[in-house]
Structure 1
Amino acid sequence: MKLTKIREIKFMDMMDAREKKYKALLNENMAKGMSSKYKAFHSKIIS
């Protein structure tokens, strides 16, 4: 296997890992944001 091909594969693996990390972070933050918005909205309805 050529060195450039190996570097390309390693680069793609790194980018995939980074993308998964940021997607997980985004999903976690969205879940936190949605739950806090829901709680604020829900408490206004009950009050």
Structure 2
Amino acid sequence: MKNFDIIIIGAGPGGSFAAKAAAENGYSSCILEKEVISNNGRYKACGG
């Protein structure tokens, strides 16, 4: 099992920013997202 310093719920703008800020400050993080994240442009990242 891998351990993380921070667990982030949601990969929207706030969660993504939190993960970036954590990494910049030396923390490891894991983002949990209920939706499928893909590269085909069908993922709505900003609410809804």
Q: In which range does the TM-score fall when normalised by the shorter chain? A: 0.3 to 0.5
Tell me the TM-score normalised to structure 2 length.
Answer: 0.31
Larger Rg: 1
TM-score if structure 1 supplies the norm length? 0.32
Indicate the structure with greater helix content: 1
